[in-house]
Every structure is written in structure tokens, then in C-alpha cells.
Amino acid sequence: MEIVSYAQKYAEDFKNLNIAWLEKYFWVEPHDKDVLGNPKKYIIAPGGTIFFVKEDEEIIATVALMKMEDDIFELTKMAVTPAAQGKKIGQQLMEHSIDFAKQKKWKKLIIYSNRKLENAIYIYKKYGFKEIPIEENNPYSRGDIKMELKLS
């Protein structure tokens, strides 16, 4: 198993993993369709990055770091295939993302989530994310919690 960075050949994996996750727990919003349909435009070009977990040439997980403003990035679009869940792959991606952000000397990471995802929120807190007030016009109608991790 290895963590690899975005390449155009993984764009469909990024989209499919996230749509499957969203449809399982919530719904696909217009903002999701834009970002998932064109990750190069919405994530990579503005300065963000996407990581994938690859096992035997198959992409089994992904996460994105999307630029919000200079040195502040949203940790978003994390998804793991059902077959790979329970193997702490999400935590490996979380550690990799935090290490990457620290190397880049970013100030903080932001996460929008939903309180019904108790396991995810537990993991975010385990890695030091703290709940902060969520703005009314947050990018996701399903978002009811916002968390941040100060890196410096």
C-alpha cells in the first residue's frame, strides 16, 4: 500500500470514491459536482493537492487539501472504499495530510463535517482538530460542524 499524489489518470477514482460515499451518507450537492467533476480546476490549480491510497494498482482511498486562503486549507473529500474500511487507512491519510501541511508551513487545516459522522469526528479530535463556529454560508448544506487544526 502506498500514498500517491494526484495525477489526471486518478481523476475518475477521485470522483467515484466521493460520490459513492456521499450517496451512502448524504447526497451530492452542486458544490460537490463542480469540485469532483473538475478537481484540477477547483483543487490543484489554486494550489491544493489530492492524495490517493493505492493497493495493488487499485485506488482504495483519497483525500483533498483545498486552498481557502493563503496558508489555510480545507481537508476535504476523504473517502475509503467499503472493502478497505476498518483498516485505519483514513487515519494514515490524515497523518500524511497533516505532515504535508506542516512541511508546507501552512497555518491551519479546516474541516466541515456532520455530527452524525461520530467516528470521523472522533478521529478529527484525536488528531487535534478543535470545533470552531461554523459560518451560515458554509459551502455544504449538510455541514453542521466546523473544525480547525492550528499548525503553527
Query: Hey, how many other C-beta atoms are within 10 angstroms of the C-beta on 27?
Result: 9
Determine the Cα–Cα distance for residues 12 and 2; give it in Å rounded to an integer. Answer: 19
pTM of the entire predicted model: 0.93
23-70: per-residue pLDDT in tens? 988 889 888 889 999 999 999 999 999 999 999 989 999 999 999 999
Determine the Cα–Cα distance for residues 56 and 13; give it in Å rounded to an integer. Answer: 15
96-109: per-residue pLDDT in tens? 999 999 999 999 99
Determine the Cα–Cα distance for residues 35 and 74; give it in Å rounded to an integer. Answer: 13
State the chain's mean pLDDT as an integer: 93
Domains of the chain by start residue, with CATH: 2-150 (3.40.630.30)
Q: What was the pLDDT predicted at 37?
A: 92
CB contact at 8 A, 143 and 134: yes
Given a cut of 80, whether residue 71 has pLDDT beyond it is yes
Better-predicted residue by pLDDT, 119 or 52:
52
Q: What was the pLDDT predicted at 92?
A: 94
Query: Hey, how many other C-beta atoms are within 10 angstroms of the C-beta on 60?
Result: 21
Q: Are strands 108-113 and 72-80 parallel, antiparallel or unpaired?
A: parallel
Terminal Cα-to-Cα distance of the chain (whole angstroms): 30
